[in-house]
Chain A
Amino acid sequence: MAVREMTKLTLGPITYHWSADARRDFYARVADEAPVDEVYLGEVICSKRAPFHEADLPATIERLERAGKTVILSSLAEVMLKRERKATGDLSAMESPEIEINNAAGLFARGRRPHRIGPFMNAYNEATIAWMAGQGATHVCLPGEMPAAAIAVAAQAARELGLGVEVQVFGRASLAVSARCYHARAHGRTKDNCQFICADDPDGMPLRTTDDRPILRVNGIQTQSESYIDLLPETGRLVADGVTHLRLMPQSVDMVAVASAFRNVLDGTIGLGEAEVSLRDLCRGVRFSNGFYHGQAGYRRIAMAETA
């Protein structure tokens, strides 16, 4: 039980273009009610969106910290343009709060000062994690497509180096990023003239195959899974394998209730079956998947074998 009590629940950065109002409401509720220990803030997907909510950041940080949450600022995944390079450089210069780096441009700017490694940094193995730790990394979020066996080896290596180890356990998986905006493209626009059409899809724009099977979600330059990752049944094994932080990605569902389901399972206060039922209830109409974790096609839902 001692190990389980140490496991932290985190809330990943909002990947969608939610309005400033929606974000304020969301984080106020997270601060007051969500049983998460750490919250990642900041725009990770599109540098054009940042001005819409940057001004609120200090107040949001203050609000969350006052509620006892650790706040981490996440950097952009794709860095190419001048404004993206500047945003990454500015973030990397911050003394507090902690920062999570998602692009090598951020590693360059940060030097050996402490930082977290984000899920876009491709920390796939123990050699890379050791390299990063030697350069000041204190924590690593593993890539979302890693299977259980590799997670276990990576987590053990990271723990031995004194690093925190994080795995996404809820929400759509990030499957790709691009220089091109697919939201703009879907509406016959270019990225420079997008008119922020992505704001219309707070849980991503659904793509279906031409024979009407749901397949992917478009979120600006990012392509996400149609299914939500759900590793609730796997949390026990993740913790046993050395994962210290479990990441919930914000979706357009009751995230406080989602966090409670995970917290209750970690604390052993409700049974897994009951928690799964409540999670399904919270995410009606959404498919769950755990294929990546089980080394299968990511969209698949692999049933857990009964353990004696």
Chain B
Amino acid sequence: MSNPELICPAGTPAALRTAVDAGADAVYCGFQDATNARNFPGLNFTPDELRESVAHAHAKGAKVLLALNTYPPAGKVDLWRQAADIGARLGVDAFIVADMGVADYIARSHPGIRLHLSVQAAASSPEAIRYYCEHFGVKRVVLPRILTIPEIREIRKEIPCEIETFIFGNHGLMVEGRCSLTNYLTGQSTNMDGVCSPASDVEYARHGDGSMSSQLAGFTIDCFGPGEKAGYPTICKGRYTAPHRSEGYYAFEEPVSLNLSRLLPDLIDAGVHAFKIEGRQRSKSYVRGVVSAFRRAVDDIRAGRQANIADLVALTEGQKQTQGAFETKKWR
């Protein structure tokens, strides 16, 4: 049985302090630019903010993981290299990377700092993971959210690095790092710009019958009845019609979020080293609630006590949730 770390999102310095104070073993964050996959307005850190945040985290015994997990387009590689150099100077504990060129640069220039392989690298087989371990010295892989627990257990036996899995938050449907849906509709790229369904392109249209539609760059992504709560227009959670599905259906996935709280003991038993909570775009109070609830649950399981799963289930109350691929391969 492993003794898993709790890896928590920090979209802002305030969220970072909140996560650390609520019991995060490590927090992950990024700079205010395209070098990370949550390049949203109002989020992320300046170098000065990161310096103070690293000091706060280290003083509380928590680690800081810097996400450099996008793909530099040719001609802009220096921005990613400079971000790595700044992170190294400020004493971050690991870099989370996806691009081979970025991984190679860090492995050569900052060999003393751990490399974690981002989910954006989409390494979903032992061979792919071993490629990054052998060439760049990757110490941990963040697994795509597409594997069952027995599959994770098997992968664990065949790779020389630690495993981190998502346990809670947004549930991406596409292979991460291989999705250009947002760029197709908006002109902003998830891989190159760190943008997914950007708020600047979102509109909600109210119709005569009281219904509402959510739109991204002018494309209707979903529609809602007069009494329904309108969701955010993420392309892979949208409702579309197909020739034999004229009524409209969720072609990829319903708007659900991932909640693996019931599976925590099984994941620990499978040898997972770190549990990741998604949500750098979330509020401080959300971070506080989720991190402290999972802190208690992980501590209970470590101590051999029954975890109070009800608290965790309640965190997504009113919202549909799923165990996704982790529970059964029928999800595929």
Contacts and interface: CB of A to CB of B under 8 A. Distances in A.
A299 B217 CA distance: 11
A150 interface: yes
B127 interface: yes
Given A79-B127, A108-B128, A211-B213, A122 B74 contact: no
Interface string A233-266: 0000000000000000000000000000000000
Nearest to B241: A208
A170 interface: no
Contact of A130 (B101, B102, B248, B329): B101
Given A145-B192, A182-B252, A213-B219, A207 B74 contact: no
Interface stretch (B8-16, B41-49, B57-65, B179-187): B179-187
Interface in B236-255: 236, 238-245, 248-249, 251-253
B185 A173 contact: no
Contacts of B144: 179
A176 B178 contact: yes
Nearest to A105: B127
A153 interface: yes
A50 interface: no
B311 interface: no
B179 A176 contact: yes
A180 B173 contact: yes
Contacts of B253: 180
Contact of A125 (B72, B189, B223): B72
Contacts of B131: 104-105, 107-108
Interface residues of chain A: helix, strand, loop or mixed (majority): mixed
Contacts of B181: 175-176, 216, 223
A223 B251 CA distance: 10
A179 B124 CA distance: 10
Interface string A108-143: 110000000000101011111111100100000001
A295 B125 CA distance: 33
B243 A205 contact: yes
A208 B219 CA distance: 10
A128 B183 CA distance: 21
Contacts, number: 227
A288 B41 CA distance: 32
Contact of A186 (B125, B173, B249): B249
Interface in A264-308: 291-292, 295-300
A79 B174 contact: no
Contacts of B132: 104
A13 B297 CA distance: 49
B104 interface: yes
B187 A295 contact: yes
A171 to B, nearest CB: 14
Of the listed residues A78, A104, A131, the one surrounded by the most CB atoms of chain B closer than 10 A to its CB is: A104
A206 B217 contact: no
Given A108-B131, A210-B241, A299-B185, A79 B124 contact: yes
A7 interface: no
B129 to A, nearest CB: 8
A205 B239 contact: no
Q: Which secondary structure dominates where chain B touches chain A? A: mixed
B50 interface: no
Contact of A297 (B76, B175, B185): B185
A212 interface: yes
Interface string A53-64: 000000000000
A148 B77 CA distance: 16
B71 interface: yes
A191 B178 CA distance: 20
Given A122-B177, A153-B75, A213-B219, A296 B187 contact: yes
Contact of A124 (B99, B123, B239, B248): B99
Interface in A220-240: 223, 225
A212 B132 CA distance: 44
A189 to B, nearest CB: 10
A15 interface: no
Interface string B183-220: 11111010110000000000000000000010001011
B180 A145 contact: yes
Of the candidates B72, B128, B177, B184, the one having the most CB atoms from chain A within 10 angstroms of its own CB is B184
Nearest to B207: A211
A161 interface: no
A145 B186 contact: no
B270 to A, nearest CB: 16
B158 to A, nearest CB: 10
Interface in A79-105: 79-80, 84-85, 88-89, 103-105
Contacts of B73: 124-125, 146-147, 150
Contacts of A208: 240-242
13 contacts: A80-B147, A80-B151, A108-B134, A125-B76, A128-B100, A131-B100, A145-B189, A147-B73, A149-B75, A152-B74, A180-B253, A207-B242, A297-B183
Per CB-CB distance, the 4 closest pairs between chain A and chain B, nearest first, are A127-B101, A179-B146, A128-B101, A153-B74
Given A105-B125, A296-B187, 7 more contacts: A80-B147, A124-B72, A130-B101, A146-B192, A186-B245, A210-B220, A223-B252
